[in-house]
Structure 1
Amino acid sequence: MVRYDPVNDPDWRLAKLCDRSGAAMLLDVGANTGQFATRMLRAGIPSIVSFEPLSGPYAKLIGAARGYTQWSVAPRCALGATEGKVEMNIAGNSQSSSLLPMLRRHVEALPNSAYTGTESVHVLRLDDFVETSLAGYDGAFALKMDVQGFEGSVLDGAARTLPRVRVIYTEMSLCPLYEGSPAFIDLYARIVGLGFRCVGVTPGFIDRERWEVLQVDATFVAEGR
């Protein structure tokens, strides 16, 4: 048992960084059933828009957001570089579902994450969504990405939105887990190259048999904006 310190709480730390940066709206990309958004509302985030492509988690997400005036859910979609229809892989644990093929290392570390089927989903560009559905909002954003290796494509479709992003909170892989996903060092360099500075890294997906951290959650803040 240790004394609770909010500085060591990743949710509160992220909320405070968003507040300090003036990012009043969190774009929750890869919301699943709303677990992350629920925690962030408790931490004090004033406004959240969640995105989830799969129909099963999406239905639960709608239910979780019901009753929150500050939490809205976008029409069911994935975010990527180009608009269109694609087949998304459904993982046995739902949280590991991805538009990319899963590699053996992932399944070895978490057997219940193996794919069980696919579902057709619509892909939108974040830029297009912001410029239409959020046209009345002229403030800054925080961007959270939990998209299982599809981070590069989300950024590709957000070129016009990124200048308004003050905080990026993203999952990053320390070893290949999805075919075609960016390596940690490449995604890190890309985000830094966009004018962000890393201010925190928290262990995420851990292989409990090998005692290895496979994914981390990293927080970046914009420099000079």
Structure 2
Amino acid sequence: MYLEPVDPGIPLTLNTQAFVRLPNEPYYFRYFLIYYRIYISGLLVEGTVSTDQLDRINPSLYTDYYAFYPYTNSDNSVVPSTMGNIFSNRKYYPLMLEGSAIESYLGSSSGDIITLDFARNLPLRPALFPGDTRVDQTLTPLNLWRYSESGIMNPYAGNRYFTNHSDLNTGSFINQNTFTNLDIADNTAVSGPKYTYVSMYIMAYGMDNNFSPVYSTPTFIGIFRLPD
């Protein structure tokens, strides 16, 4: 069985916005999954993040990007049924929304465009818009939430927002024993101001007739700097 991947030519605005068109999928499709991981950095990048900046942002970002790279090859028609585990093994977690089930916006609405917006400074927060904000300024934002599940991953102090806050950029808060901030990669080389970046991938998810998971080829969305 085959699920159509998201077109890799995703329009970006610097490192703040992405406009993702969701393809139409067959009957066994369930919804799209967005996986993310946050990286602490001492490097300020104001434009679009390029591959030659990955290692300077955070060495783990460089390693993760090239670990996933073979899977993002659109020529691959066969995707491992363990694709979800491949992401989670590198501490990439499913994106969530505050107060809403993200599947509601990444499921039957396939064929539409969603906007991911990280340009929303406090008191606003990074959000998903169920539509294209370039053509419709009246869309309702849905705040992005970090993943949280007992015994798997717990955001420090319950702070689930995607903002460059001390709850996110303090490396000592990453604790394997308490499952705290496992969605964040530390950078011990940072001695000055700290910045945080999030890397995101999207793929379609479905179930075949034997109730086994089916995934599309994952598509790299981009790397976004979290607002202060």
For the superposition of Structure 1 and Structure 2, which TM-score range results when normalised by the shorter chain? Answer: under 0.3
Q: Which has the higher contact order (CA 8 A, sep 6+)?
A: 2
What is the TM-score normalised by the length of structure 1? 0.25
* Greater helix content: 1
What is the TM-score normalised by the length of structure 2? 0.24
